[in-house]
Amino acid sequence: MNNISIEIDQLMSKVMVQISEAAQKQDLIALESLTRKATELKEMSEQVLAIANRLKIITQAADAKTEILHPNRGQRELFIRVSQGMIAQNLLTLTEHINRGRIKIGEVLIVKPLPDGEKFKTEVLASGNKLQERGAIGKFYHKTGVRDGDYVVLSEISSGQWQLRKAMATEVPEAGFINRYAKI
Domain ranges of the chain: 2-67, 77-170
Look up residue 183 and give its DSSP letter: T
Top mean pLDDT of 63-72, 80-89, 115-124 is at 80-89
pLDDT-derived band at 61, boundaries 50, 70, 90: low
**CA 25 → CA 29, 32, 68, distances in Å?**
11, 13, 53
pLDDT at 175 over 60: no
pLDDT-derived band at 184, boundaries 50, 70, 90: very low
**CA 136 → CA 92, 110, 177, distances in Å?**
10, 12, 31
Characterize 81-112 residue by residue with b for buried, 16 or more Cβ atoms within 10 angstroms of its Cβ, and e for exposed: bbeeebbeebbbbbebbbeeeebeeeeebebb
In the CATH hierarchy, which fold is given to the domain comprising 77-170?
At1g16640 B3 domain (2.40.330)
